[in-house]
Amino acid sequence: MSSITNQPDGIAAELTKPIVHNTNYILRPPEAAVYLGLTTSTLAKRRLRGELPIFVRLGARAVGYRRVDLDTWLVSCRRRSTSDQGNAPNVD
């Protein structure tokens, strides 16, 4: 276990590899989780509930995430304050 990333050593080793600049590059869930700062469990739960980020079905039991979709989702999560609900309808 890597103490820097709290991820298995294999994933921590992947972080030292050069970043692929192709925005259509497919990240598998462990890589996507590290990229987003989430856990693979959180990504699995979000897929199950149909929540973003969008994923790609690669096979019967394999999924991945396009880096461009992850980046788009991250931009949509930006907020100026903890009370900022983004594009959510105003309920006041």
Rounded-to-10 torsion of CA 26, 32, 34, 40: -140
Query: Cβ distance 8 to 50 under 8 Å?
Result: no
Per-domain residue ranges of the chain: 9-76
CATH architecture classification, 9-76 = Orthogonal Bundle (1.10)
| Number of other CB atoms surrounding residue 54 within 10 Å | 13
pLDDT band at residue 67 under the 50/70/90 scheme? very high
The per-residue pLDDT for range 20-65, each reduced to its tens digit, is 566 678 999 999 999 999 999 999 999 999 999 999 999 999 999 9
In angstroms and rounded to an integer, the radius of gyration of the C-alpha atoms of the chain is: 15
Distance CA 35, CA 9 (A): 15
Averaged confidence pLDDT in the chain: 80
Residue given tokens 């692929």 in the structure block: 20
